[in-house]
Structure 1
């Protein structure tokens, strides 16, 4: 039998402690978290969005109130200011937009009650995790003691007693924990911070805290609330990985860079511009990567893939080496694996996440974009593309720019605007540092291929999840993060109707956004897709039921301008170039938010980029248009590639 170990000879001095509720401890901890990158230190949490209910009112809600009162008594602003939102999903969208605008170096916490309050955040959690944007979600949970079970809004399972609706967050979060005792809180919060500040792992971090536990007090060590500085790392590349990547690139005659959001989050835009100027390699951009080069940089060939430019897609079709930097290669980027059509194409992927670096059977360089570009530039200091390839790139870009000019041109200033003309006017009337925000419908595609970007943080299109309803909430978050820039929210009527209530939050917080509301009388993007699939815009237009019972009657008498005005913002109706130009200038000069309502001419289509998206079509149908669409679908399916060829021996 083992001997009893001796007692320690020296007893440590007892640490100072403070008695707080769990909710109060959460607020105090969050206010003490900082991040540091390249020597610059900032508070990590900019504030807390919240909607209160029975689950969080007496816990985190009371703690935020006390935090404000304590700050007022010391004549200071609260370190964790509170913003009251109108919709739980929208609050997460605002938090995500803020973090994205700040290159993921600052984030928000979002608190809700248990039940529909928490589950309303599920869409926001998915959006944050898919886009790799940090947000801390604090949904209340059911009573840990269970003494009153079942309580209001509790999900009862006959198979398990510990399941709550918050378990739905598990697959949607990069980190999930449940706090059922106060002693569990430090580990949960520290675990969340580890993920939130990791550029490769970040996304939604969810901590579900029982509604009774939030209000329970505990004696906490003062060290728990000491200022913590989390280093946002820049992982350097391995020398062997750089050598393999350089060897593949050196063999290329027609290389192409695909730049994603990782370039911008790394702050590597200038490094990429220098690398491309020296090597002559052209750069195509994803939605998240748009802005890493100015539109007028000679190496910039614009958007890639389904919503791409003809210039970028023509180069992609023939590229023998594709260099992905900070991209996750979504189906829109690869045109559902048809964009890179060279049978001998090889890939080099630079990414902080090993998961993404390994895609497309690539030579993977697991590293920060800025660090990898520096190392790769040294390894390729004597490499540059041939002169004839530079000439080809210039010719393709020039031809595409002429198509943009034609799409933007307004020949009759008093005629109804097309959507592309509207985008052109916003592009020309906005300042270089202004931000355009969009997420869903036909406008993200038009913006991706047509918007002439002038600043790395001037383009904010959420297209990882392409979530309808993101736009206004996202615009609020972007403006909070960049109060010195005007934020233009471009939104169609379908997406506007999902979540217009956040205009009230903009009014409440005096956050100025300029919302360009395009009235399409339905889902324009899906309507166009429906036609291409042979489904004739079925179920995509806002119409009464006709005599046969189908939704093919007259248009609904929806007045979205009147709706916006009822929410407290200034509203201008402007359908022509003359009126729209005046409205934008008025909105820029205003100090508060403006909604510009525009009824566009939907017929003229934007210039095509010559790409394809894999959307299944019915194999058998009595509808002739569907049968024709299926034949076209089969032709595209034949040229899809698995991209399984090894990039190096």
Structure 2
């Protein structure tokens, strides 16, 4: 298009200009273009109803030439809408996301947790919190925080430490560089996360003459940085010297869409591949080099190999404390690390040899340079033996026949067998992520969606909505504990209102199973972790469940079809019915609060009181001192 076509200006409000600009932003990688901001989620109040709210309405019913549609969904909770956007971005491998808006004060502040989740998980989300009047004439306005030392401080400054980009628009013309920088960060594979642009409510509605070319279609090309030759040389040298190398595949492998390259690399070299929560499915579970989860929530196969590994090749992982078992997992005194990551911050962890590069590009380059390299036959036989031994334990956990209430691992086993390779299982918090990482057999990169960077209770319900919007042809199944359900159930109304077909699996065990077990292991006797009617003595004496609390009935009140089942056979039958439905449903099943859970072969550092009058805590501290002895920095 000629420059003349962009000549002149157009008069719009700041909010209208924002929506028009966002509707024309695209991302591109490997020749594939997609809308960068695929839609809007928003809860309106006096801070944004006449600004961004009006702009979205105008986009819907009175669009003009040059303005694409910005589909709008009405959520129920500000935190929940950000979780939905994050899940949408995750399923789209960070190439597309959604925008979120809320009103001034508590509405906007509710989005901070969602922003932190997005940034911790390296997921792009665009957030527009409403703000106080930039003019400061009606001051203080309703829900404005007042700081007597700094009149520019608002509650939205809380977003600064949990965002990758933060700006506040106090004049209309500031919007131009702000939005351009926002798109830069959203499409940067190393720097992405929550992008927050605070919008004073008067500025949102202010009219301005905008240059027309600001609204042209823009394609943001997502880079694939190639490895530096010298860094590649150093990495190849270390790997060739290894006798027991292993790979840890993180989320970066999936976001890079490098699964095919990882499988090829593992097949050519025989190097075993363990996975993190974000990386599960990066290599298919039936690949002979796939050894499953590693670390605190890993299985025996991954952890036994990790115990003796002399070279650990981390690809797209940030090495959380669960992956490293709080720096106790890699026990070889001479272990070395080679880290492939687009982010230098992560590539440098564990004193590693750094290869700052895209996972797919680095794997292709490594494969060429390691031609002829293969692990010894004895090591390959060990890998096979560890795989087979752990798969037998997985099968046992999936088919326990536990009673009178089933174990949650049996529910997971049924789902693992019933769900297709392109279906999506979602979870985030409690004991379930640990069981899932250890046991779930992921056949594709899309199937496993567990948010375990922030592990935010309440994520699962809105995340299912976001995932289904991203992949409407997949069955999306969110596994929700009774504790998580009570944190954030409100988006059930949204999925019903919008006709979004998802399946929720509600595990009812009348308590916080994960923290209860952790409390017991640390000498605190499951204090405050069971849902029990309050008695007259200690919380430990309360035995009766709370009368009248009925999550199944509550879910029905939101508009879901609810199946209440009591056995794994009934669960399987209910799942088939839920799949056949054309609307959202829930399968409600009671499970045993006390497990049993998969066998553990690793550790996690949770500090125990160094002095106590309780014998249980004293014993736990003595054990804690012993457990910490292998802990070390990898230098």
**Match of 2:207?**
217
Task: State how many pairs are aligned.
Answer: 630
1:522 aligns to what? 511
* In structure 1, distance between residues paired with 2:368 and 2:260: 16
Q: CA deviation at 1:436?
A: 0.2
Structure-2-length-normalised TM-score = 0.97
Task: Output the CA distance in 1 between the equivalents of 2:511 and 2:558.
Answer: 22
Residue pair 1:416, 1:599 contacting (<8 A) in 2 also: yes
Cα distance in 1 for partners of 2:295, 2:138 equals 55
SS of residue matched to 1:333: coil
* Residue of structure 2 aligned with 1:460, choices 443, 449, 462: 449
| Aligned mates of 1:14, 1:244 — CA distance in 2 | 50
Answer yes or no: is the 8 Å Cα contact 2:528–2:539 preserved in 1: no
Aligned to 1:248: 238
Q: Distance in 1 between matches of 2:253 and 2:160?
A: 29
2:424 is the counterpart of 1:435: yes
Kindly report which structure 2 residues correspond to 1:392-471, keeping only aligned pairs within 5 A, or say none.
392-409=382-399, 411=401, 416-471=405-460
> Relative to structure 1, is the Cα distance of residues 549 and 535 closer, same or farther in structure 2, using a 3 angstrom cutoff?
closer
Following TM superposition, by how much is the alpha carbon of 1:13 offset from its aligned partner in structure 2, in angstroms?
Answer: 12
Deviations 1:140-161 (A, max 9, x none): 1100000010110000011111
| 1:383 aligned residue | 373
1:313 pairs with 2:306: no
CA distance in structure 2 between the aligned counterparts of 1:29 and 1:13, rounded to whole angstroms = 17
Query: Is contact 1:543-1:551 (8 Å) kept?
Result: no
Matched, 1:15 2:7: yes
The offset of 1:581, in angstroms, is 1.1
Tell me by how many angstroms 1:549 deviates.
5.4
1:504 counterpart residue number = 493
Tell me if structure 2 keeps the 8 A contact 1:256–1:284: yes
Pick from 93, 112, 118 the counterpart of residue 122 of structure 1: 112
Q: Which runs of 5+ in 2 are unaligned?
A: none
Give secondary structure in 1 for the equivalent of 2:322. helix
Give the aligned partner of residue 588 of structure 1: 579
**Contact preservation (8 Å) 2:6, 2:213:** no
2:47/2:130 contact within 8 Å kept: yes
Residue 88 in structure 1 maps to residue 78 in structure 2: yes
Structure-1 residue corresponding to 2:50: 58
Over the aligned positions, Cα root-mean-square deviation in angstroms equals: 1.5
Residue correspondence of structure 1 range 187-206 to structure 2 within 5 A: 187-206=177-196
Partner of 1:600: 591
User: Pairwise mapping of residues 1-40 of structure 1 onto structure 2 (< 5 A)?
Assistant: 15-40=7-32
Indicate yes or no: 2:634 matched with 1:640.
no
1:186 matched to 2:180: no
2:103 alignment partner in structure 1: 113
Tell me the distance in 1 between the aligned counterparts of 2:538 and 2:445.
50
- Asked whether the 8 Å contact 1:543–1:552 carries over to 2, the reply is no
- The SS at the match of 2:298 is coil
For 1:623 and 1:452, how far apart are their aligned partners in 2?
41
TM-superposed CA distance for 1:183, in Å, is 0.8
What's the offset of the Cα at 1:626?
1.0
1:552 deviation in Å?
A: 3.4
The CA deviation string for residues 116-147 of structure 1, in whole angstroms up to 9 with x for no partner, is 01000000000000000000000111000000
Instruction: State the shift of 1:466 in Å.
Output: 0.2
SS in 2 for 1:332: coil
Cα 1:323–1:232, aligned 2, differ >3 Å: closer, same or farther? same
Whole-angstrom CA distance in 2 between matches of 1:369 and 1:303:
19
Is the CA contact 2:6–2:212 (under 8 Å) kept in the aligned structure 1? no
Q: Which moved more, 1:601-610 or 1:427-436?
A: 601-610
Equivalent-residue separation in structure 2 for 1:62 and 1:283 (angstroms)? 51
Matched, 1:559 2:542: no
Label 1:77 to 1:573 Cα distance change in 2 as closer, same or farther (>3 A). Answer: farther
Partners of 2:292 and 2:400 lie apart in 1 by 23
Tell me the alpha carbon deviations over residues 194-222 of structure 1, each in whole angstroms, 9 at most, x when there is no partner: 10000000000000011000000000000
Question: Offset of 1:70 from its aligned partner?
Answer: 2.3
* Residue in 1 that maps onto 2:462: 473
CA 1:14–1:33: 2 relative to 1, 3 Å: closer
> SS of the residue aligned with 1:613?
coil
Whole-Å separation in 2 of the counterparts to 1:628 and 1:457: 43
Alignment match, 2:530: 541
Q: Is the 8 A contact 2:510 2:593 kept in 1?
A: no
Name the residue aligned to 1:102: 92
Cα distance in 2, alignment partners of residues 187 and 476 from structure 1: 32
CA distance in 2, matches of 1:517, 1:186: 46
Matched, 1:291 2:281: yes
Q: Residue 286 of structure 1: CA displacement?
A: 0.3
Higher mean C-alpha displacement, 626-635 vs 261-270: 626-635
- Runs of at least 4 residues off by over 3 Å: 12-15, 549-552
8 Å Cα contact 1:349/1:363 also seen in 2:
yes
Which residue of structure 1 aligns with residue 137 of structure 2?
Answer: 147
Whether the 8 Å CA contact 2:340–2:362 is kept in 1: the answer is yes
Using structure 1 for the length normalisation, give the TM-score: 0.95
Find the aligned partners of 1:14 and 1:372 in 2 and give their Cα distance.
41
After superposition, the C-alpha distances for 1:6-25 in whole angstroms (9 at most, x for unaligned) are xxxxxx99931100000000
| Kept in 1: contact 2:159–2:166 (CA 8 A) | yes
Q: Is the 8 A contact 1:416 1:577 kept in 2?
A: no
CA apart distance, 1:636:
1.8
Contact 1:420 1:606 in 2 (8 A): yes
1:360 aligns with 2:335: no
For residue 565 of structure 1, report the CA deviation from its aligned partner: 0.4
